[in-house]
Structure 1
Amino acid sequence: MTPLSQDEASSAGSQETGSKGTIRVLQLYPRDMNIYGDWGNVLVLQQRIRWHGYTPEILEYNVGDPFPEDVDIIVGGGGQDSGQLVIQDDLLSRESALKELADDGTPMLLICGLYQLFGRFFKTRTGAVIPGIGVLDVETHGTDERLIGNVTVSSPEFGDILGYENHSGQTRLGPGVRPLGTTAKGTGNNSSDGQEGARYRNIVASYLHGSLLPKNPAIADFLIRTAAERKYGSFTPGAPDDGYAELAREHAARRPR
């Protein structure tokens, strides 16, 4: 499935009738931070928003763009160190706006590289420090150890979360956040404490990709429900088709590390 451009998505959304309202999804830096199938997360949100009876509007923000107003969900993806360096200055210039959105309760999904840069800093294995914007109370140190393979996370909110990790950053959580869950299989944030991801207000941050949301619709629906409740005061779910998601979860759960 080919992703819609911003103009195509807006046009398609405006033609839908009988909608409960529009939910605007902003993908951060897809040009430079989109190497782990992160568009898949946006496509899942787009489809499930429709299944729940709302109209999706898909927006992109890249370096140098004007920052959109009235954003309902923010999605950020992964990238190599080179991609993080490309967006570093622009992200810092948007620090105040993103902090305000986060503290106001805007639901966000942050994967891998943008999980790191929404923290305090990412220190590469060569000692270079890439400052983060400090939305999340986490810090990341690059190492020569690569954490890679299938992961199952036990989450009190979302049940078993299934995904795939591939990172050399070791992330430590501070007291201002809580973990997304604990690793039943795989490594997670680092090679020692058994925690994966971070939760702060309505932010879900994680190293899991592959993409994450196709196999974890409970997280997608949390983002959509939260966005709808904030914007419209309530959320009445539709009837999503979770058949393929359940099949994918069954296969993923059987895979070895």
Structure 2
Amino acid sequence: MTEYKLNLGHLYGDLMNTYGDYGNYLALKYYAEQIGVKINYKLISLHDPFKADDYDILLFGGGQDYEEEVVAKDLPQKSGEIKKYIENNGSLLAVCAGFQLLGSTIQFADGKTIEGIGVMPHKTVNLNSPKLTDRMRGKRLIGNIVIKNNENGETYHGFENHQGRTFLGKGEKALGTIVSGNGNNGDDKTEGVIYKNVYGTYFHGPILTRNGNLAKRILATALKKRYPEIDWTKKLSQIPTETF
């Protein structure tokens, strides 16, 4: 019997795991096993080499400002290969700080600005930015959140907790439109990002354990790229969607 495999890389999973983002890997592993697919997990941390062609799925989790700043200093060594991975339609899930760092700039609550790697065009300002409306300025965005993906009709549920305000750039679209909650910046009704096969979000918890429909979508995309002769969406549709 053919053994199907996917290689998953967890970018800075030892540092950027504040909200239990490792659970996103466990959700993907669960669904993969239901259809006879093995996921090989590898942690990619500070000073570790990264080659785009070695991976089918990447996870990039969230962290506090300190960890985000540490990671920001190491990321440029990997930025070229991360850009290559994204532009070659690699599947990637980025949460909170990971989402921010793929963009161009991030401004912390104290006003300090660090550089992301700019492989995607979004930018993040802080909660006191004059770019925000008076209604949202100075307010940390915390609480339950529900969004709807307007392309496929899927609804995603989660929890947000962030001071950063992210504004999407050219070529990016939102993961979903706000049903309830705040989202990327509290003003434009967007949450998260989709660019090629990259999904970014402020959902903590982690998102794939509560939204198996999205976990299946990411898994099917990666599998289709590696094994295009098989209808992976159909196979996964026969597996019950769980909430862990």
TM-score, structure 1 as length reference:
0.84
Q: CA offset at residue 66 of structure 1?
A: 2.4
The correspondence of residues 1-257 of structure 1 with structure 2, limited to 5 A, is 18-67=1-50, 69-143=53-127, 144-156=138-150, 157=152, 159-234=154-229, 235-236=231-232, 237-238=235-236, 239-242=238-241, 244-245=242-243
Amino acid at match of 1:50: E
Amino acid at match of 1:228: L
CA distance in 2, matches of 1:124, 1:230: 37
Structure 1 residues not aligned, in runs of 5+: 1-17, 249-257
Partner of 1:253: none
Confirm or deny: 8 A CA contact 1:122 1:132 kept in the other structure: yes
Q: CA offset at residue 104 of structure 1?
A: 0.3
Confirm or deny: 8 A CA contact 1:158 1:218 kept in the other structure: no
Output one character per residue of 1:166-211: Cα deviation in whole Å (capped at 9) or x when no partner: 0000111112201111110100001211110011000010001111
Task: Classify the secondary structure of the residue corresponding to 2:72.
Answer: helix
Partner of 1:4: none
Task: Classify the secondary structure of the residue corresponding to 2:164.
Answer: strand
Q: CA offset at residue 127 of structure 1?
A: 2.5
Task: Classify the secondary structure of the residue corresponding to 1:145.
Answer: coil
Task: Classify the secondary structure of the residue corresponding to 2:140.
Answer: strand
Q: CA offset at residue 240 of structure 1?
A: 2.5
Q: Is the deviation greater in 38-47 or in 120-129?
A: 120-129
Q: CA offset at residue 19 of structure 1?
A: 4.9
Task: Classify the secondary structure of the residue corresponding to 1:176.
Answer: coil
Confirm or deny: 8 A CA contact 2:49 2:78 kept in the other structure: no
CA distance in 1, matches of 2:153, 2:209: 14
Task: Classify the secondary structure of the residue corresponding to 1:178.
Answer: coil
Amino acid at match of 1:67: F
Confirm or deny: 8 A CA contact 1:23 1:49 kept in the other structure: no
Moved over 6 A (4+): none
Output one character per residue of 1:198-254: Cα deviation in whole Å (capped at 9) or x when no partner: 110000100011110011111111111111111111343254342x42xx6xxxxxx
CA distance in 1, matches of 2:125, 2:35: 40
TM-score, structure 2 as length reference:
0.89
Amino acid at match of 1:32: L
Amino acid at match of 1:205: G
Equivalent pairs counted in the alignment come to: 228
